[in-house]
Amino acid sequence: SFRDNLRAYIEHPQAHNNVLYYDEDFVFIRDKYPKSKMHLLLMPRDPSVTLVHPLEILGKHRPLVDKLNFMVFQKLPDLIMKEARNSLFPDSDLSSRVPSKSLWDFIKLGFHAGPSMNNLHLHVMTRDHVSPSIKHNAHYISFNSPFFVNIDTPVSQLPVRGSLSYLFQQDVCCYRCDESFGRQFSKLKGHLSEELESWLQETLER
Ligand code: 5GP
Ligand code: ZN
């Protein structure tokens, strides 16, 4: 099934060109259908965890959660900053004026509460959601509602598996200013582009 399509990356990382980094324990890849300017996936390779549900990982596999955080913040930060800069600022003049701190504040880390792909993957992505691969409200909602479970979520606040489908019927709201667009996807899309511009202006003025 298509749901197994991420398995190849952890089994044969050397065979794929959207692999940014791999070692014995992790593979770090670019999402093939990026839902933001930068959209990366960090995958543990251990066969005994790759098929464990992310909510169970967050609830019961705390050493692995710690390792994922270690990878992002200790092992891969330079690579992540480079990717963020290259994807947000194809024109590198601007990039040099944006401090890494601002970029980190614009990055989120989390799992989908109901993933479509079976092999465990942590989303490492910018908040903009400006991308041709955002094709309907559900795409946006899945990353901007409790369905996107931040890696920092306390165990006591994890959602109940299968309880969140109602979110996909709700109105879409801007992640940055909270304006609601009802169910009007094209209005949301236009606004997301404006918000990315506005974020850029603000980080440059600082
Ligand atoms: P999920 O909803 O399961 O948390 O997210 C799965 C992610 O995998 C999606 O963002 C999707 O775009 C991405 N994806 C699906 N198939 C492939 C693929 O074959 N290669 C890569 N690199 N990413 C994929
Ligand atoms: Zn807004």
Which of 39, 121, 123, 129 does the annotation list as catalytic? 121
The parent domain of residue 141 ranges over 2-205
Q: Is 114 strand, coil or helix?
A: coil
Cα of 191 vs centre of ligand 2, distance in Å, is: 6
In this structure, the residue with its CA closest to atom 17 of ligand 1 is 32
The domain tally of the chain equals 1
pLDDT at residue 79 above 90? yes
pLDDT given for residue 93 in this prediction: 87
CATH code of 51's domain: 3.30.428.10
User: To which H or E segment does residue 200 belong?
Assistant: helix 185-205
Q: What is the ipTM of this complex?
A: 0.99
Which numbered atom of ligand 1 lies nearest the CA of 29? 22
* Conformational region of residue 52, where left means phi above 0, alpha means psi within -120 to 50, and beta covers everything else: beta
- Give CA torsion, residues 8, 14, 20, 25, to 10 deg: 70
Q: Going by CA atoms, what residue is nearest to atom 20 of ligand 1?
A: 32
Any idea how long the chain is?
206
Whose CA is closest to 147, among 179, 178, 118, 170?
170
**Tens of pLDDT, residues 12-67:** 999 999 999 999 999 999 999 999 999 999 999 999 999 999 999 999 999 999 99
DSSP 3-state percent helix, strand, coil across the chain (nearest 5): 45, 15, 40
Average pLDDT over residues 150-159: 98
Q: What angle do CA 137, 138, 141 make, to 5 degrees?
A: 85
Question: Does the annotation mark 139 as catalytic?
Answer: no
Which residues lie across from 148 on neighbouring strands?
A: 112
pLDDT in tens, 165-175: 999 999 999 99
Q: Look at residue 80 and tell me whether its pLDDT is greater than 90.
A: yes
Ligand 2 centroid to residue 3 C-alpha, Å: 33
